[in-house]
Structure 1
Amino acid sequence: MKQIIQSFKTGETILEEVPRPQVRKGYVLIKTHRSLVSLGTEKMLVEFGKSNLLEKARQQPDKVKMVLDKIKADGLVPTLEAVFTKLGEPLPLGYCNAGEVLEVGEGVFDFKPGDRVASNGPHAEIVCVPRNLVARIPDTVSYEEASFTVIGAIGLQGIRLTNPTLGETVVVSGLGLIGLITAELLLANGCTVIGFDFDAQKVTLAQEKGIQAYNLSQGTDPVKTVMELTGGIGADAVIITASTQSNDLISQAAQMSRKRGRIVLVGVIGLDIKRADFYEKELAFQVSCSYGPGRYDDEYEKRGIDYPLPFVRWTENRNFQTILQAIATGKLDVKRLITEEIPLGEYQRIYSNMGGNNSIASILTYKEAVDLRTSVAVNGKAGSFSKPGKAVLAIVGAGNFTKMTMLPVLSKIGADIKYIVSAAGVSGTHLAKKYHIPLSSTQYEDVLQDKTVTSVIITTQHNLHASMTVQALQAGKHVFVEKPLVLTPEELQQVIEVYVQQPDTSVTVGFNRRFSPFIQKAKSLLGTSPEPLNLVITVNAGFIVPTHWTQNMAVGGGRIIGEACHFIDLAAYLAGSEITQVVASALGNHPTQNSDNVSVIVRCKNGSQCVINYFSNGHKAYSKERIEIYSMGRVLILDNFRKLEGYGFKGFSSMSGKQNKGHAQQFEAYYSFIQKGGEPIIPFSQIINSTKATFAAIQAFTSGQRIEVE
C-alpha cells in the first residue's frame, strides 16, 4: 500500500510503498476513502524538516539541553549518532481520515467490516487505529465531509474549555480551517462571533457564514474593533486558532477581553505574557489539548479504556461524534471549506508549495483497488537467501534499540538479514532501505513460515516477548530476544516447556553487558579463584514518567523486570555462580511491583554477594552505571563502561576508551554461533536463573522477605 511520509532530516515528502498494517487487539483496520490535509500542522512539519540543523536547534531549545546532558553522560560520538538517527526517522503525515472498516481486532465489538468511519489515521491507503479514536459516520454524511471530523474536534475542544453561554461575544483570532469551524460552531451555540485574519478569502467566507469577520491586512485594529462592537465591555472570551511566533496575539487577546474574561489557546503562538494585561482584569488563560480528554493517555487511546460518561462527558471520541452529528444536521457546513480534491498519487500538488498554498481545505482521494500485501520487497536480494544452511536473520521490532544499536552492528559484521517486521510498516521499511534488507513486513507469520530464516531477533515491547519466542521455537527457529525474556513466572514456564521440546533450537537474551571488553577484562583479572566476591552495582537509571509503556506492568513489566534484570544477570556472571537468595528493599513505605528505586542483595551458590542499587532519583550528569568488585585484597572499579581501574593487580592499573556496553561483541558472538553452531553464547540455565532472580527481587521488596531462588 502507499503512504505519505516526511523526512525530518531532508525535508522531503515521499509517497512510500509499505506493507499494510495488521489489525491489533483493540484496534480497527480501515481502508481509506478520503483524508484531509491539515495545512497548518503539516506545513509546520514540512518546513521544520527543510530547515538546517542550526535552525532546528533554535526551534527546539529544550531538545538541545537534552542533547547536552546526553553528551555529558554518554560522550559526544554516541550522542551525535543518536541525534542523526532520530532525525533520519520517517514521520507519517496526516490525522484526518475517513474510510471503510476492513477488520476489527480482538475486543472491538461495536464496529464490523463495511462500517463507514472517521478516525485520526494518517494519509495511507490502509490505517490501523485504536478503537477510541474511531467514530461511525452517519448515513447522510459523505466521506469528504467526514474527513473534517478530527480537525473539527480540535476546534470543539477549544470551545468546550471556553464554556460559552447563549448570547456571549466570542472572538476567534485566526480564520484558518480550525478557526472557521470553531466560529461556525460558536454561532450554532448562540454566540455572537467576531473573527480576525489577514487572508481576504477566509474573511469573506467567514462573513458569508454570519461571522463578523475583519481583514487585518487592511489596517484594522482588532482591540479597538472589539471594544466598539461590545460597547466598551470587551469580549466574553477569545479563542486563538492562529499560528505565529509573535507575542502580539496574546497581548491583544487580553486587551480585548472584558474583566474576568476567558482566553483559550488552540493554535501555536508566542507566549511572552505581560502580567499587567492579565492582573488588572483577572483573566483566565488555558491551553487546549488537541481533540479532548483522553488525548495522549495510553490507557484511553491504545488500550481502549474509556472514561465513564457521567464523570467525563466529552472525551475525544465523543467530540468526534459531536462533529459528525453537527455535519449531519447541517449546523456545521464543511463542504464550502473544500478548496480542492487531489488523487493520492498527485500529492505533490499540495506538498510541493505549502508555503504559497492558499487552499483552505485540501482533500486527498484514494483508489478503490488497494495492495493488501503484508510484506513488500525493498530491493532484489530476497532470492539470495534460498541457499540451504545459510545463517539468515529476521528482525521483529523497529524501535530505538533496533535502529540505534542493533542494526548498525549487524550491518557492520555483514549479517544476512532477510526481514524486518514492524507494527505499522513505515519504520520497518525505512530501516530496510537504509540497511539493504530485502523485505519489510507487518506480519510475524511471514517470518515463521519462511524456512530460509534460521534465527528470529525479537525487539518488540516486552509483553510480546514470551509469545513470540514460543512461536519461533515451535517453528524451529533460533531466538534472540532483547531483555526481558518474559514478564511472568507462568510465561517463563511456558518458554521452558517449549524449549526442551525443540532440541535443535536455542534461546538467547540480550544480556549484553557480559560481553563488554571492560567486563571481559575484569573477568580475566579476577581469574578462576574459588574465593567469593563482593560486588556493588549502582545504576543511576534516571526518571521515567509513570505513563511510559515500560512502567506498565502488563506491557513493559516495570523497570526492575525490564532493565534491572541486566545487572542481576551481570552479578551472577561476574561471581561465576548461580543466584540462590534475594533480599530487596524499595524506597518509600508502600513499594509496588513497578517501584524503580530499589536496592537488591543477591547471594550466589559459591558465597559471593552483590548489592544492586537501581535508582531513578539521581542527576542525569552523574554516571549511569558504576560497578565495584572486591576480591582477595583487590578492587576493580568500572565507571559507566568507559574506564576500568584496578587496585592491587600486578601489571594493571587502568583501561579506558569510548563507552562500550558489549552490544557489538554480543551480536558478533551470536551471529557466529548461528553460522557455525556449537554452544549458545549464554547457557540457557543461566538465563533462567537470572530471570527467576529478577522475579524474586520484586517478590522480596513487596513482601519484605528473603526469597529463595529455585
Structure 2
Amino acid sequence: TIGAIALHAVRNLDAKLGEVVAVLGAGLVGQMAAQFLALSGVRTIVLDYDQARLDLAAQLGAEKCLNLSDNGIEQNVLALTNGLGCDGILIAAATASSEPFETAAAIARDRAQVCMVGLSGTEFPYAAFMKKELSIIVSRSYGPGRYDEDYEARGIKYPAGFVRWTETENLREVMRLLASPSAQKLDVTSLISHRFAIDTAEDAFKMVLEKTEPHMGVILSYPESVSDVPAKISPANPKSGDCVLGVIGAGNFAKAVLLPELKKLNGVRLHTLATKRGSSADHAQETFGFEQATTDEASVLGNPDINAVLVATRHDSHAELTASALSAGKSVLVEKPLGLNREEIAIARAARENSTGFFQIGFNRRYAPLAIQARAELVKIDGPRFMVFRINAGHVPGDSWLQNADEGGGRIIGEMCHFIDLARYFAGSPIVSVQADAARNSDGAADDVSATLRFEDGSLATIAYTSLGDAAVAKESFEIFAGGTVLNLDNFRSLSVTTDGSTQNHTSGGQNKGFAGALKAFAEAVASGGPAPIDENELVESSLATIAVLDSLQSGQRIDLGIDI
C-alpha cells in the first residue's frame, strides 16, 4: 500500500519521458516515488538532509541527489535543467515546517506542478507560487476509488476508459513491478533497514518513535510455523441450559448497544465473534469477553458447540446468514430487517421450516417496559384501536450505506419497520392492508413518509416518519385511542393512561427501548429449548408489511397483504 501511495502521487504529476521531477524527502514514500519516476523515463532529482538516504536513492536510480544542508541548491537544479527548473516537484517530507513548499517554489519552472503526498506544513509562499503560476495537488492515498463507499464496499467499478488507474490498478501495478524478473522492477529489499520478530514489536516502535537510530523500512516478522501455539479449546458440548452464542458483525451499533447488553446477561456464553476485520474482532473479543475471535463466518455457522447466532451485519447479508444459521440447526436473532425484499424473506422462511432452531428479529421496542405496560392496558379494552405514531427520525446523508437500496435498503426497510411491528404488537390483530405516501425531497430519498395500516379487527394505525425535524424534539411519540381511553407513550420515557377524566402516569427511570429485554428473552428461549418469544409468523407479517409500504409508494395504491403465513 505504501508503494501504491507513492505511485498515485507520481501519476498526479503526469510527468513525461525526459521531464525533470524533484522528490523532496527520501523516506519510504519518497524512495519509491523516485524509483517509479526513473522507471517511467523521468529524470529524477532527490533532495533530503540525510546523506545516507540520498546515497540509497542514487543507488536505486535517481539521476541526481542534493543535500539540503548544502548551499546552491537552486543553482544546481537550474544547471541540470538547462536553466528551466523542474517540471514537477513531489513533496514526500514528514515535517511541520513549510520549508518543502519554499524549496519547491525556488526550483520549479514556470507553471510547474507541485504534488504533496507527505504530511508537511502548508504555509506556502504565495508570491513565489503566483509569479510562476504553480499548481498544487494534494495526493489522495492509493488513487481513485479511495474513500468511495460505492467503489470500496459495494464493488462498483469505474469505467477504464474514464479512470484507467484506480486504487486497485495502482496496487496491482506495484505488485507487478515487485515480481518483475527484469531489471526494470521496484526494489524494496534495499529499503529494509531493520527486522524485528513480532514478539519484540515494542522495541521496533520505540526505535521509530524515539528515533534512537537511523532507520528506513522496518519489518515485523511472524513465525513461519505456529503449530506449537496451543489453540483455545472450548468444551465439546454445551451444558444443558446454556445459550452458547456466536455473533457475526461488530459495527458501531453492535459495539455500542448489543454487545454491552449481552455481556451483562447471565446464562449466555459468548463463544465466537466474527467480523470482517481481524483487528476489530480482536478488540471486541477483549472488550466483551468472547472466547474466540475470527474473520471467518463459517467458524460460527459450522461450530457444533454454538446453538445460537446473533446477526449484526449490514442489511444485505441478513437473510443469507439467517438461513445459513437456521440450516445448521441454530436459533437466530437477526437485527432488523430480516431481508430487503420478499425473495430474501422467503429464503429465511424456507430455512426455518427445515430447522430445529427458531429465529427472531431485533424488534426490541416490543420489550420496552412502557410498551409492555401499554399493551397490558390495551388488552383490557374491547374493540378497535386508533393509533398515531410520530417519528422525528433525523437526517441521514444520501451517501450513507443505509440509504443504498442494495446494501441498506433505505430507511423504510431499515428503520420504519420498527414502528410497523410496534403497531402490530399494540393492535394484537393481523395487518390486512397498507397505504403510504411520501413528501418528495430534493435528493430523491423517501425519508418523509406517512403510512396507514389497517388491521383485521378494524384497528387503524398512522405512522408519520420524517427526517425534516429538529433533533431537540423527542424522536418517538405514540398516541393510542381505544374504548374511551387515551394512551400517550413519549419516547419510551413516560406513559400516560387517561380514562374517564383521570390520568395515570408511569415512567421507566429513563429511556428504555427494550434492547436488554429482547436479548434476554431470546437467550432464555434458547437455553430452555422453549418456543420463540415472538411468533415468527407475526415477525414475517411485520416484515412483509414494511415492504408493502414501498410498493404503495411506487404504485400510489393501497396494498392488500393477503399474507399466507
| TM-score (normalised: structure 2) | 0.85
Matched, 1:626 2:480: no
Distance 1:325 1:468, change over 3 A: closer
Q: Which amino acid aligns with 1:360?
A: M
**Residue of structure 1 aligned with 2:349, choices 468, 487, 496:** 496
Matched, 1:266 2:120: no
Q: Which amino acid aligns with 2:412?
A: I
Contact 2:241 2:528 in 1 (8 A): no
Q: Which amino acid aligns with 2:208?
A: M
Matched, 1:694 2:550: no
C-alpha distance in structure 2 between counterparts of 1:289 and 1:667, whole Å = 43
Distance 1:668 1:160, change over 3 A: same
**Structure ID, larger Rg:** 2
Matched, 1:334 2:184: no
Alignment correspondent of 1:472:
325
C-alpha distance in structure 2 between counterparts of 1:392 and 1:351, whole Å = 39
Superposed CA offset, 1:582-614 (max 9, x none): 22234438997x744443333333333333344
C-alpha distance in structure 2 between counterparts of 1:555 and 1:358, whole Å = 48
Distance 1:654 1:184, change over 3 A: same
**How many residues are treated as equivalent by the alignment?**
552
| SS, match of residue 352 in structure 1 | helix
Q: Which amino acid aligns with 1:339?
A: S
Q: CA deviation at 1:527?
A: 5.5
Contact 1:294 1:300 in 2 (8 A): yes
Higher-RCO chain (CA-CA 8 Å, sequence separation at least 6): 1
**Residue of structure 1 aligned with 2:38, choices 184, 187, 193:** 187
| SS, match of residue 483 in structure 1 | coil
Q: CA deviation at 1:158?
A: 0.9
Distance 1:153 1:372, change over 3 A: farther
Distance 1:362 1:446, change over 3 A: closer
C-alpha distance in structure 1 between counterparts of 2:551 and 2:123, whole Å = 50
Alignment correspondent of 1:411:
263
Most deviating of 537-546 and 506-515:
537-546
C-alpha distance in structure 2 between counterparts of 1:285 and 1:634, whole Å = 69
Matched, 1:358 2:209: no
| SS, match of residue 370 in structure 2 | helix
**Residue of structure 2 aligned with 1:283, choices 131, 134, 137:** 134
TM alignment of 1:292-691, pairs within 5 A = 292-302=143-153, 304-327=155-178, 328=180, 329-331=182-184, 332-355=186-209, 356=211, 358-369=214-225, 376-377=231-232, 382-383=234-235, 386-414=238-266, 415-502=268-355, 504-524=356-376, 526=378, 528-529=380-381, 530-546=383-399, 548-588=400-440, 595-616=446-467, 621-623=471-473, 625-631=475-481, 638-642=489-493, 650-653=502-505, 655=507, 657-691=509-543
Q: CA deviation at 1:178?
A: 0.8
Contact 1:407 1:435 in 2 (8 A): yes
Q: CA deviation at 1:565?
A: 1.3
C-alpha distance in structure 2 between counterparts of 1:372 and 1:306, whole Å = 43
Contact 1:393 1:419 in 2 (8 A): yes
Aligned residues with identical type, % of pairs? 36
C-alpha distance in structure 2 between counterparts of 1:443 and 1:359, whole Å = 36
Runs of at least 5 residues in structure 2 that lack an aligned partner in the other structure:
none
Q: CA deviation at 1:291?
A: 1.8
Contact 1:628 1:635 in 2 (8 A): no
| TM-score (normalised: structure 1) | 0.69
C-alpha distance in structure 2 between counterparts of 1:274 and 1:607, whole Å = 75
Distance 1:513 1:243, change over 3 A: farther
Contact 2:391 2:465 in 1 (8 A): yes
| SS, match of residue 524 in structure 2 | helix
| SS, match of residue 44 in structure 2 | strand
C-alpha distance in structure 2 between counterparts of 1:241 and 1:161, whole Å = 13
Q: CA deviation at 1:508?
A: 0.9
Q: Which amino acid aligns with 1:520?
A: I
Contact 2:497 2:503 in 1 (8 A): no
C-alpha distance in structure 2 between counterparts of 1:177 and 1:195, whole Å = 13
Q: Which amino acid aligns with 2:216?
A: I
Runs of at least 5 residues in structure 1 that lack an aligned partner in the other structure:
1-149
C-alpha distance in structure 2 between counterparts of 1:397 and 1:372, whole Å = 30
TM alignment of 1:50-61, pairs within 5 A = none
Superposed CA offset, 1:55-104 (max 9, x none): xxxxxxxxxxxxxxxxxxxxxxxxxxxxxxxxxxxxxxxxxxxxxxxxxx
Q: Which amino acid aligns with 2:317?
A: L
Distance 1:265 1:301, change over 3 A: same
C-alpha distance in structure 1 between counterparts of 2:93 and 2:321, whole Å = 47
Distance 1:528 1:221, change over 3 A: farther
Superposed CA offset, 1:451-478 (max 9, x none): 4433222222323322332233333322
Distance 1:192 1:384, change over 3 A: closer
C-alpha distance in structure 2 between counterparts of 1:158 and 1:333, whole Å = 18
Q: Which amino acid aligns with 1:476?
A: G
| SS, match of residue 295 in structure 1 | coil
Contact 1:541 1:624 in 2 (8 A): no
Contact 1:385 1:418 in 2 (8 A): no
Alignment correspondent of 1:76:
none
Matched, 1:172 2:23: yes
Distance 1:697 1:650, change over 3 A: same
Contact 1:623 1:639 in 2 (8 A): no
Q: CA deviation at 1:646?
A: 6.6
